[in-house]
Amino acid sequence: MTAVRVLGVLGSPHRHGNTEVLLDHFLAGAQEAGGEIEKVVLINLQYRPCRGCNACHKTGICVLHDDAIPLIERMAGIDCCVIASPIYSMGITAELKALVDRGQYLWAQRWILKTRPEKLADPACRRGVFLSTAGLSKETVFDAALPVMTAFFHGLGFADYERLTVNGMDRYGGIEGHPTALVDASNLGESVVRDLQGQCSVRPEAMAPGSR
């Protein structure tokens, strides 16, 4: 059986904070279930925000050459893509939003140029996951982030995505003070990998950029 490949993408600029700890527990659970894990930290990469030039609407290719596009292609070809971001000013971080915007070429390839399929042949073989933490205890604190992540996961080719959102970090004094968050993250990582193992025993290798 081919091992389930799990790619964790950390959107927080604050290292080893609540969101990264939550992501690490997810990845630990995924690894415990037999997944091959990798973590990418966005602040370690060099990439620019989208220029809004719309050149990709004609060519399907982003005119900017940096670390963003290779990462997005890896995310689009992985078995399990886990994106983690804290809530800053009621939305995802600037680092993650810049990456999301750079994914506009995926939209152009799928719905303008038709060079990528709109839907995967077997969406059960791939899983997207969004992890997020917030200082506020308000249940609505994640409302602005979720539509952005939905659009990004759809652009990456995931039919849907699971989410684990944990608010009240100020009240709990951090993620370690939350009664269930870390266990929930570990259990989710394990269950996602086991589900993929059971539903798709043979997974094709990631396709080359632009070949979808």
* Over residues 162-185, mean pLDDT: 98
**Residue 163 in contact with residue 194, Cβ under 8 Å?**
no
**All residues at 6 or more sequence positions from 22 whose CB lies less than 8 Å from its CB, including other chains:** 84, 131, 133, 164, 166, 175, 181, 182, 185
What does each C-alpha distance from 78 to 23, 36, 45, 81, 168 come to in angstroms?
17, 11, 19, 6, 32
Query: What pLDDT does residue 212 have?
Result: 29
Residue 140: pLDDT above 80? yes
Query: CA-CA distances (angstroms) from residue 192 to 54, 88, 208?
Result: 36, 27, 25
Q: What pLDDT, on a 0 to 100 scale, did the predictor assign at position 169? A: 98
Q: Is 60 exceeded by the pLDDT of residue 196?
A: yes
pLDDT at 30: 98
- Is 70 exceeded by the pLDDT of residue 202? no
At 201 the pLDDT is: 59
Query: What pLDDT score was predicted for residue 118?
Result: 61
pLDDT value of residue 208: 36
Residue 205 has pLDDT above 90, yes or no: no
What's the rounded mean pLDDT across residues 118-144? 88
Q: Give the start-to-end residue ranges of the domains of the chain.
A: 5-132+148-168+175-199
pLDDT at 132: 98
Give yes or no for residue 161 having a pLDDT over 80: yes
Q: What percent of the chain has pLDDT over 90?
A: 85
pLDDT digits (tens, 9 = 90+) for 48-72: 999 999 999 999 999 999 999 999 9
Domain 5-132+148-168+175-199: homologous superfamily in CATH: Flavodoxin domain (3.40.50.360)
Average per-residue pLDDT in the chain? 92
Report the range of poorest mean pLDDT among 69-73, 82-86, 119-123: 119-123
